[in-house]
Chain A
Amino acid sequence: QSVLTQPPSASGTPGQRVTISCSGSGFNIGNNAVNWYQQLPGTAPKLFIYANNQRPSGVPDRFSASKSGTSASLAINGLQSEDEADYYCASWDDSLNGWVFGGGTKLTVL
């Protein structure tokens, strides 16, 4: 059972907007930044969002994220087939003194 809670799956058709939620507590999301990772099948995770809402270079601006209180969300506008992947949220936990991840959300493009 993961410390951060994500829905196990999400889906949408090409061009749609999809959001993925991530819920934590005051020890992690409530007090630290949230990062999001994309993991394509058979590959290592890739940083997609850092510091709650910042995109590393190379990440399309179709991807955005926000944080409010002890929750965060990742939004994908104009869904494309290549967005099909697993997405994980992560935050440092001050109580556990380490990184905590969400269980991951499998995004399917219908």
Chain B
Amino acid sequence: EIQLVESGGGLVEPGGSLRLSCVGSAFTFRKYCMNWVRQAPGKGLEWMATINQDGSEKYYLDSVKGRWSISRDNGKNSLYLQMNTLRAEDTAVYYCARGGISTPWAPIDDWGQGTLVTVSS
């Protein structure tokens, strides 16, 4: 069974930084695009970033460009999200989500359980 396990969430002050991690198992991690999607409390899903198989292509939501960085280590089956200059409105559950084997716009088909990030003083 495919597993995606996120970690790294927690409480951080406004302006602070946090690095989220996600480890994938039971599938060939290096063959898939990967994504981060978040969900603020009581709100809907919001895509944040996508990275292609070898990390050479990265796509970001406009509001996080220049602040955040998505990366991956295929040798460790791991996906990362470095979040800098965090704001209160970044408070959300952050999901690691598996994308397509062909293109970044192939369906997101599996999700982790999520890690909660709370930005508050």
Q: Which chain A residue shows the least CB distance to B44?
A: A104
What are the interface flags for A70-110 relative to B under an 8 Å C-beta threshold, 1 for contact and 0 otherwise? 00000000000000001010101000111111111000000
Range class of the A interface residue count: 20 to 34
What are the interface flags for B48-84 relative to A under an 8 Å C-beta threshold, 1 for contact and 0 otherwise? 0110000000011110000000000000000000000
A100, B59: Cα distance in complex, Å? 13
Range class of the B interface residue count: 20 to 34
Q: Is the CB of A101 within 8 A of B111?
A: no
Q: Which chain A residue shows the least CB distance to B49?
A: A98
Q: Is the CB of A32 within 8 A of B44?
A: no
Of B45, B104, B109, which contacts A56 at CB under 8 A?
Answer: B109
B47 within 8 A of A: yes
A35, B45: Cα distance in complex, Å? 13
A50, B108: Cα distance in complex, Å? 9
| B-side contacts of A103, CB under 8 Å | 44
| Given A98-B47, A99-B47: A47 and B105 interface contact (C-beta under 8 Å) | no
| A-side contacts of B47, CB under 8 Å | 90, 98-101
Q: Which chain B residue shows the least CB distance to A96?
A: B62
B5 to chain A, nearest CB (A): 12
What are the interface flags for B105-121 relative to A under an 8 Å C-beta threshold, 1 for contact and 0 otherwise? 10111111110000000
Q: Is the CB of A101 within 8 A of B45?
A: yes
Of B46, B60, B62, B114, which contacts A101 at CB under 8 A?
Answer: B46
Listed A/B pairs (6) with beta-carbon separation below 8 Å = A44-B112, A47-B110, A90-B45, A92-B104, A98-B49, A98-B61
Residues of B within 8 A of A (CB): 35, 37, 44-47, 49-50, 59-62, 95, 104-105, 107-114
Residues of A within 8 A of B (CB): 2, 32-33, 35, 37, 39, 44-47, 50-51, 56, 86, 88, 90, 92, 96-104
